[in-house]
């Protein structure tokens, strides 16, 4: 299946709408041959046309577009394509026409703009064609988030992200920049040294701009790829530079048991983390093997027990629905196992097919079970077990266009996850691949400062990394007229 767009200044909306039905279809610049499966959509004169050609059959719809219309032609074409594709593919996208990654944000923003609950409901159910179940879940999450967003939405509030781009092996679904520890071990120590310098620079920038730190998140990659001593160095640097006693949440991803041990878990606790994440993804040994993990389900159970023994009282576990080789029954077993451990958070992701992942490169993408059924099971079992959804986001190219949902025991909402996903405040991001997002809600300004993607460049061009940090104070001087405090 190909996508061919014509006659538009921008085809962004139409392209992403068509991808709800054909997630991996490439856009082609040339008209496809008459016998090729394709969606052709475009504007000619005042006529919008969408054609679906598939398996030798063809369906076409047209509409008149007037330049006076409030909607742009690309959006009008997307709406036309939605109707045609929904009728002729038999696919009913659960989120309807919503292609964005933050459906909950739409509710939060509409409420902030004073729209009534009825208006918001009409927009989701009728204009967007969202299912009542998805809308109800999004609204419930918006309710849970409201007080947390209020607490963190001051124009000087921020969170700090620290990235560790190393992993013991590469998972088949991974599209992140993550270096293999076996191959790149010699980079780790210089990387940690530079990272500590960058963290200290962020502290200076934040101080100068009068910012208030809310949450810290050390993610990756796999932060526990660092040795226990390197973790001490890094977390010691964080403790030295930031007032942990006033930070509301400090998360460290102890993602994989093949590089997490009792000593590292004790260091993470000792140096002030309040929340960790141990990510089984599945409790099936066979699926773990298929996705390239070099550990067993028993290793995850042992790691979890070690984390509790080290005193961690707020633990998240990530699971993924739709892993290659998994089944609906297998996913349910994994979920029941996670629930039996009684972690404070369980995050259920839907597998995303990224072009850089081994799954796509090696063509394994045809072997997926019913992901929608998996998510329905997760909603039922997690609610029964006393978990509530507290954040939700979608990614492009997610199986069956579904979502990722963070569930928690009440009172254990992961604040950082809400702050980043709802763009509540600035996220200063340290490390290779870091993307600092500066947010000023009052003036609706968002600006990004990027770090180099790969650790080698991050280390060798570190002067430039530091130079770019000046963007933080410049942003706040511009948005808030900050007088520097030195």
Residues that bind ligand SF4 (CB under 6 A): 167, 170-171, 174, 176, 178, 220-222, 255-256
Helices H / strands E in the chain, number of each:
17, 17
- Of 157 and 253, nearer to ligand SF4 (C-beta) is 253
* In the complex, least distance from residue 183 CB atom to ligand SF4, rounded to whole angstroms: 13
* In the complex, least distance from residue 170 CB atom to ligand SF4, rounded to whole angstroms: 5
* In the complex, least distance from residue 255 CB atom to ligand SF4, rounded to whole angstroms: 5
- Of 277 and 473, nearer to ligand SF4 (C-beta) is 277
- Of 171 and 405, nearer to ligand SF4 (C-beta) is 171
**Gap between the Cα atoms of 161 and 143, Å rounded:** 26
- Of 170 and 409, nearer to ligand SF4 (C-beta) is 170
* In the complex, least distance from residue 421 CB atom to ligand SF4, rounded to whole angstroms: 18
Q: How many CB atoms lie within 10 A of CB 452?
A: 20
- Of 107 and 265, nearer to ligand SF4 (C-beta) is 265
* In the complex, least distance from residue 431 CB atom to ligand SF4, rounded to whole angstroms: 13
- Of 169 and 209, nearer to ligand SF4 (C-beta) is 169
**Measured between alpha carbons, how far is residue 114 from residues 109, 110, 221, 439 in Å?**
9, 6, 40, 22
Interstrand relation of 57-64 and 47-54 (parallel, antiparallel or unpaired): antiparallel
* In the complex, least distance from residue 105 CB atom to ligand SF4, rounded to whole angstroms: 25
DSSP 440-476: ETTTTEEEEEEPPSSHHHHHHTHHHHHHHTHHHHHHH
Cβ atoms 156, 397 nearer than 8 A: no
Q: Which residue sits closest to ligand SF4, CB atoms considered? A: 174
* In the complex, least distance from residue 295 CB atom to ligand SF4, rounded to whole angstroms: 11
- Of 21 and 217, nearer to ligand SF4 (C-beta) is 217
Interstrand relation of 315-321 and 249-253 (parallel, antiparallel or unpaired): unpaired
Residue with tokens 């072997």: 367
**Gap between the Cα atoms of 282 and 330, Å rounded:** 8
**Gap between the Cα atoms of 53 and 36, Å rounded:** 7
- Of 12 and 176, nearer to ligand SF4 (C-beta) is 176
* In the complex, least distance from residue 282 CB atom to ligand SF4, rounded to whole angstroms: 12
- Of 38 and 278, nearer to ligand SF4 (C-beta) is 278
Cβ atoms 9, 31 nearer than 8 A: no
* In the complex, least distance from residue 281 CB atom to ligand SF4, rounded to whole angstroms: 8
Helix or strand (DSSP H, E) at 49: strand 47-54
- Of 97 and 264, nearer to ligand SF4 (C-beta) is 264
Going by C-alpha positions, the residue among 121, 175, 90 that lies closest to residue 400 is 90
Cβ atoms 440, 155 nearer than 8 A: yes
**Gap between the Cα atoms of 125 and 275, Å rounded:** 37
- Of 222 and 337, nearer to ligand SF4 (C-beta) is 222
**Gap between the Cα atoms of 447 and 426, Å rounded:** 9
* In the complex, least distance from residue 179 CB atom to ligand SF4, rounded to whole angstroms: 9
**Gap between the Cα atoms of 162 and 218, Å rounded:** 5
Cβ atoms 278, 315 nearer than 8 A: yes
Burial string for 111-141 (b: 16+ CB within 10 Å, else e) reads beeeeeeeebbebbeeebbbeeebbebbbbb
* In the complex, least distance from residue 225 CB atom to ligand SF4, rounded to whole angstroms: 8
């Amino acid at each position: 299946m190909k996508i061919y767009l014509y006659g538009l200044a921008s085809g962004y909306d139409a392209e992403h709408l068509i991808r709800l039905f054909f997630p991996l279809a490439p856009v082609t610049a040339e008209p496809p041959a008459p016998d090729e499966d394709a969606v052709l959509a475009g504007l000619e004169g005042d006529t919008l046309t969408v054609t679906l050609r598939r398996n030798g059959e063809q369906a076409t719809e047209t509409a008149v577009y007037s330049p006076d219309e409030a909607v742009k032609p690309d959006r009008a074409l997307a709406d036309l394509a939605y109707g045609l594709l929904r009728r002729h593919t038999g696919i009913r996208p659960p989120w309807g026409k919503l292609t964005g990654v933050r459906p909950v944000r739409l509710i939060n923003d509409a409420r902030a703009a004073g729209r009534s609950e009825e208006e918001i409901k009409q927009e989701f159910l009728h204009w967007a064609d969202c299912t009542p179940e998805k809308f109800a879940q999004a609204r419930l999450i918006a309710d849970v988030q409201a007080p947390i967003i209020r607490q963190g939405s001051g124009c000087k509030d921020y969170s700090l992200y620290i990235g560790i781009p190393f992993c013991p092996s590469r998972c088949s679904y991974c599209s992140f920049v993550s270096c293999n520890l076996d191959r790149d071990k010699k980079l780790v120590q210089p990387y940690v040294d530079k990272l500590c310098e960058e963290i200290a620079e962020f502290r200076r920038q934040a101080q100068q701009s009068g910012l208030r730190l809310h949450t810290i998140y050390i993610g990756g990659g796999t932060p526990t790829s660092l040795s226990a001593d390197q973790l001490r160095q890094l977390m010691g640097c964080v403790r030295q530079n930031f007032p942990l006693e006033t930070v509301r949440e400090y998360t460290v991803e102890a993602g994989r048991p093949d590089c997490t041990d009792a000593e590292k878990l004790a260091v993470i606790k000792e140096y002030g983390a309040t929340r960790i994440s141990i990510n089984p993804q599945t409790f099936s040994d066979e699926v773990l093997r298929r996705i390239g993990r070099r550990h067993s389900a028993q290793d995850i159970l042992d790691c979890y027990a070690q984390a509790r023994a080290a005193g961690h009282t707020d633990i998240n576990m990530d699971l993924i629905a739709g892993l290659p080789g998994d089944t609906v029954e297998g996913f349910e077993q994994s979920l029941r196992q996670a629930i039996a451990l009684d972690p404070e958070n369980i995050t259920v992701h839907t597998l995303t097919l990224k072009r850089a992942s081994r799954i796509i490169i090696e063509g394994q993408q045809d072997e997926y079970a019913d992901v929608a059924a998996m998510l329905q099971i997760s909603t039922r079992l997690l609610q029964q077990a006393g978990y509530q959804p507290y954040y939700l986001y979608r990614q492009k190219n997610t199986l069956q266009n579904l979502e990722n949902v963070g569930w928690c025991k009440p009172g254990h909402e992961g604040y950082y996850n809400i702050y980043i996903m709802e763009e509540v405040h600035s996220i200063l991001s340290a490390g290779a691949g870091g993307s600092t997002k500066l947010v000023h809600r009052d003036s609706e300004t968002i600006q990004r400062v990027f770090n180099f993607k790969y650790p080698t460049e991050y280390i060798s061009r570190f002067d430039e990394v530091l130079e770019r940090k000046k963007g933080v104070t410049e942003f706040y001087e511009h948005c808030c007229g900050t007088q520097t405090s030195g």
